[in-house]
Amino acid sequence: MSDGPGSGPAPAAEGTTAARPVLSLALASMLEEVRAHSGAVYLLRPDQPVLEMAVHAGMPRAFAAPWERVGLGARIPVADAARERRLVWVGGEEEMASRYPRIALVLPYPFALAAVPVATENRLYGAVFVTWPGAHPPELSDVERADLTAACDRLALRLERAVAENRPLGPEVDVLPVPVSAVATGSAEAARMVARLPYGLLSLDLNGRITFANTAATELLGRTAGELLGTLPWASVPWLDDPMYEERYRGALLSQQMTSFVALRPPGEWLSFRMYPSRSGLSVRITRARAVADMAQEAPRGGPAPTRLVTISQVLSLAGALTEAVGVQDVVQLVWDEVTPAVGGQAVVILGSQGGRLHVLGHRGYADPGVVERFDGLPLAERTPGTHALISGVPAFFDSREQLERLYPDRHAVPDGFAAWAYLPLIASGRPVGTCVLAYAEPHVFPADERAVLTSLGGLIAQALERAQLYDAKHRLAHGLQQALLPSSLVPPPGIEAAARYLPAMHGMDIGGDFYDLVPTLPLSSAVIGDVQGHNVTAAGLMGQIRTGVRAYTTVGQDPHEVMSSTNRLLIDLGAELFASCLYLRLDPARGRAVMARAGHPPPLLRRPDGRVRVLDLAGGPLLGIDAAAAYPTTEVSLAPGSVLVLYTDGLVESPGIDIEDALVDLGGLLSECGHRPLEELADEVVRHSTAARGRADDVAVLLLRACPGP
């Protein structure tokens, strides 16, 4: 992690610095070729799915500090480019916020970015990103695209040769533009001219350090030239020590646009700062602000010195990543993809507790999973660093194996191959929800500032884990309720094969009002499919009542139109204020027919033995639950041996942007082609083929019935 604009290069990808600056030269040439103003080369570690920044150019490395090390599965452009072996283009601030909100949160400035894989046909070596100021057109030109791709292909070939020749690959010295000296630099006349100006002038290099200050600037800032030169303004001038001011400097460099801000010089003088950027640094003009009355309410409040902005950026990026986690396994994966690489770890374990015992919720990075899983079910009373952190809420940091085994002697019996550990208690809503264990391959000293940041990250992980556990519990409850309400198995009558599928909507509680059933009564059997409004617990509960009602009315011998009318009155009597569609049919395979009644439900499809498919035009009545006096006429349909009836709910064929007529034609074509397959295979193919079912804005239920040939 980095604490400020002067951070150095990342650790070596293979532990050694490259002998020749292959990466630096390639990156500098690439930036010049496409007229980009910054970029970086990442190398893929040979032992982990992690990309490490090997060289950065054009800007201080601190700007990319949250992404020094990133998991290959992380949702950022350079990881996407490497993982998917394609060029990723982000055309500006709005597109960045839409596609990569975590980056936009940390770098909310107008700039464009391209990320390109560095790979040969047989091997991925890493990836490159380059950036342009916000004035770049929103689209990447064909010439720029071709130049970037060709440059990365050439770099991949160089890396391939280096590997073949056993030459080490690793980090190189960052490339910053050398400031171009002005013609009059150092001349007495230039100095006199600048000294005569009535406003302050500062020159900052790319790292934000002051390289020049005129007399007016020293007077306005209240510091001598000796106190200013070579320092960061927000470090040498106490009242500029606010992350907001450093953010303006970052924004000016990234966007290459003039930025400004006002700051209060104690006790009550407001100064205006204007920053004019170039590729070699910034010129800053300082004047007294005139309209200060309205600024008083916006004055920064006094207090303890704020955390360095880069550390804030790191935490913001990781916090944004964790908000995307839905279930517990999502949290584990995101901690592995985002947090572990960022803090230099090589493995992670997330522990939880239930019933007084420790539970391993997930882990990544361990060559032998058994080393971790042996702790699953361990009583919390056992003395281990994981249980102690969980119960006490106190983090523990072990710089070496000797230090760990001195406090926990039993740990020597569990060789996991790692040499340093951070045990972070996960506290959410005032209670412990687990422990996050970060493991390091080499001995690792945890200074105070790193311990503070890791502990803060533990709080973010805890909140994500608590949300994920609640979601998983809700999902299990919903899934169990849905399974209880739907038939556990289908028992078709002799002469009929049956197969069914149910898919919950992708949004909501994974539970809904779609249902199907087969009612085995003698001598005839019945089938029903229906859809209650909504996909929530209310809809599911009402669905269960309707299904029970249909079974009851069928069992007492009512005809199809009577079953439908009785179910309609039942729904109205329940007072649920929800409507339902329904399709009910009485099967008579011996006579090769089916009698159907329909209540506002999509029409079924019939595939004949010769492969022809048609949509059945059935008589019907209104949705159930609207009119107590509604009638539901019946239609008799021929069901020859080998015929397939396809009953479905509207989620199979209805979706925004999809014409239902086209969807039915498409479904008919599939049935015509594949309808001869075994019914279970056909059911899978029907839901797999449906565009609407794949997006699943609504629940989907499908019931397939095939008339079998006689003995």
* Confidence (pLDDT) at 478: 63
User: What distance lies between CA 425 and its chain's CA centroid?
Assistant: 24
Confidence of residue 313 (pLDDT cuts 50, 70, 90): low
Question: In this structure, are 492 and 467 located in the same domain?
Answer: no
Question: In this structure, are 516 and 663 located in the same domain?
Answer: yes
Q: Which of 132-146, 153-167, 533-547 has the lowest mean pLDDT?
A: 533-547
* Confidence (pLDDT) at 18: 39
Over range 542-551, report the average pLDDT. 87
Q: Which of 113-122, 240-249, 309-318 has the lowest mean pLDDT?
A: 309-318
In a domain, 557, yes or no: yes
- Cα distances (angstroms) measured from residue 116 to each of 142, 148, 504: 14, 7, 38
In a domain, 306, yes or no: no
Higher-confidence residue of 42 and 502: namely 42
Percent of the chain with pLDDT over 70: 84
Q: In 3D, which of 519, 514, 548, 551 has the Cα closest to residue 529?
A: 514
Question: In this structure, are 647 and 552 located in the same domain?
Answer: yes
Over range 5-18, report the average pLDDT. 40
| Position 710, amino acid | G
The first and second tokens of residue 423, run together, are 């045990």
- Rounded to whole angstroms, how far apart are CA atoms 31 and 54? 16
* Confidence (pLDDT) at 498: 93
Residue 646 scores a pLDDT above 60 = yes
* Confidence (pLDDT) at 306: 39
Max mean pLDDT among 126-140, 233-247, 276-290 falls in 126-140
State the maximum Cα–Cα separation within the chain, in Å, rounded to a whole number.
112
Residues sharing a CB contact under 8 Å with residue 486, sequence separation 6 or more, in sequence order: 502, 515, 516
Query: What burial letters (b/e) apply to 376-405, b meaning 16+ CB within 10 Å?
Result: eebebeeebbbbbbbeeeebbbbbbbeebe
Alpha helices in 486-603 (DSSP H): 537-555, 560-574
- Count of Cβ atoms closer than 10 Å to residue 150 Cβ: 12
Confidence of residue 651 (pLDDT cuts 50, 70, 90): confident
- Rounded to whole angstroms, how far apart are CA atoms 636 and 15? 78
Over range 230-248, report the average pLDDT. 85
pLDDT tens digits along 592-621:
899 999 999 999 999 999 999 999 988 889
> Do 424 and 435 touch, CB atoms closer than 8 A?
yes
- Count of Cβ atoms closer than 10 Å to residue 189 Cβ: 8
Confidence of residue 529 (pLDDT cuts 50, 70, 90): very high
- Count of Cβ atoms closer than 10 Å to residue 638 Cβ: 12
Question: In this structure, are 492 and 469 located in the same domain?
Answer: no
Confidence of residue 506 (pLDDT cuts 50, 70, 90): low
Question: In this structure, are 531 and 660 located in the same domain?
Answer: yes
- Rounded to whole angstroms, how far apart are CA atoms 218 and 223? 5
Percent of the chain with pLDDT over 90: 34
* Confidence (pLDDT) at 317: 65
Answer with the one of 458, 477, 496 that is the final residue of a domain: 477
- Count of Cβ atoms closer than 10 Å to residue 184 Cβ: 12
DSSP 241-308: -SHHHHHHHHHHHHHTS-EEEEEEETTTEEEEEEEEEETTEEEEEEEE-S--GGGGGGPPPP-SPPPP
In a domain, 296, yes or no: no
- Rounded to whole angstroms, how far apart are CA atoms 106 and 313? 5
In the chain, the number of structural domains is 4
Question: In this structure, are 587 and 702 located in the same domain?
Answer: yes
Stretch (H or E) spanning 78: helix 77-84
The first and second tokens of residue 340, run together, are 């572990």
- Rounded to whole angstroms, how far apart are CA atoms 402 and 396? 14
* Confidence (pLDDT) at 422: 93
Q: Which of 111-120, 237-246, 311-320, 445-454 has the lowest mean pLDDT?
A: 311-320
Q: Which of 168-182, 354-368, 522-536, 545-559 has the lowest mean pLDDT?
A: 168-182
* Confidence (pLDDT) at 13: 41
> What is the torsional sign of CA 43, 45, 49, 53?
negative
Question: In this structure, are 160 and 223 located in the same domain?
Answer: no
CATH of the domain at 277: 3.30.450.20
Q: In 3D, which of 698, 702, 692, 693 has the Cα closest to residue 534?
A: 698
In a domain, 173, yes or no: no
Query: What burial letters (b/e) apply to 257-267, b meaning 16+ CB within 10 Å?
Result: bebebebbeee
- Rounded to whole angstroms, how far apart are CA atoms 388 and 380? 8
The edge-to-edge listing of strands for the beta sheet with 88-90 is: 69-71, 50-57, 38-44, 124-133, 111-119, 88-90
Confidence of residue 705 (pLDDT cuts 50, 70, 90): very high
Residue 297 scores a pLDDT above 80 = no
* Confidence (pLDDT) at 83: 94
CATH of the domain at 672: 3.60.40.10
Residue 509 scores a pLDDT above 70 = no
Return mean pLDDT, the chain: 82
Taking each continuous run of H as one helix and of E as one strand, the counts in the chain are 22, 26
Answer with the one of 135, 165, 195 that is the final residue of a domain: 165
- Rounded to whole angstroms, how far apart are CA atoms 527 and 595? 10
Question: In this structure, are 603 and 630 located in the same domain?
Answer: yes
Q: Three-class SS of residue 440?
A: strand
In a domain, 629, yes or no: yes
Confidence of residue 124 (pLDDT cuts 50, 70, 90): very high
Q: DSSP letter at 212?
A: E
Question: In this structure, are 531 and 432 located in the same domain?
Answer: no
In a domain, 175, yes or no: no
Confidence of residue 536 (pLDDT cuts 50, 70, 90): low
* Confidence (pLDDT) at 295: 39
β-strand pairing of 420-428 with 396-398? antiparallel
- Rounded to whole angstroms, how far apart are CA atoms 102 and 108? 10
CATH of the domain at 90: 3.30.450.40
Over range 24-46, report the average pLDDT. 91
Question: In this structure, are 214 and 318 located in the same domain?
Answer: no
β-strand pairing of 496-503 with 700-707? antiparallel
| Position 315, amino acid | V
In a domain, 16, yes or no: no
* Confidence (pLDDT) at 326: 72
Q: In 3D, which of 214, 212, 192, 188 has the Cα closest to residue 287?
A: 214
Over range 541-568, report the average pLDDT. 90
- Cα distances (angstroms) measured from residue 85 to each of 130, 241, 635: 16, 43, 56
The first and second tokens of residue 136, run together, are 């770049």
Domain that holds residue 360: 313-477
Over range 626-630, report the average pLDDT. 91
Question: In this structure, are 509 and 615 located in the same domain?
Answer: yes
Higher-confidence residue of 417 and 77: namely 77
Question: In this structure, are 528 and 645 located in the same domain?
Answer: yes
Residue 293 scores a pLDDT above 90 = no
Over range 137-142, report the average pLDDT. 92
Residue 481 scores a pLDDT above 70 = no
Q: Which of 99-103, 137-141, 144-148 has the lowest mean pLDDT?
A: 99-103
* Confidence (pLDDT) at 648: 93
* Confidence (pLDDT) at 413: 64
pLDDT tens digits along 141-177:
999 999 999 999 999 999 999 888 888 888 888 876 6
Residues sharing a CB contact under 8 Å with residue 263, sequence separation 6 or more, in sequence order: 239, 240, 242, 245, 270, 271, 273, 300
Answer with the one of 253, 288, 323 that is the final residue of a domain: 288
Query: What burial letters (b/e) apply to 318-327, b meaning 16+ CB within 10 Å?
Result: bbbbbeebee
* Confidence (pLDDT) at 691: 65
Higher-confidence residue of 469 and 227: namely 227
In a domain, 63, yes or no: yes
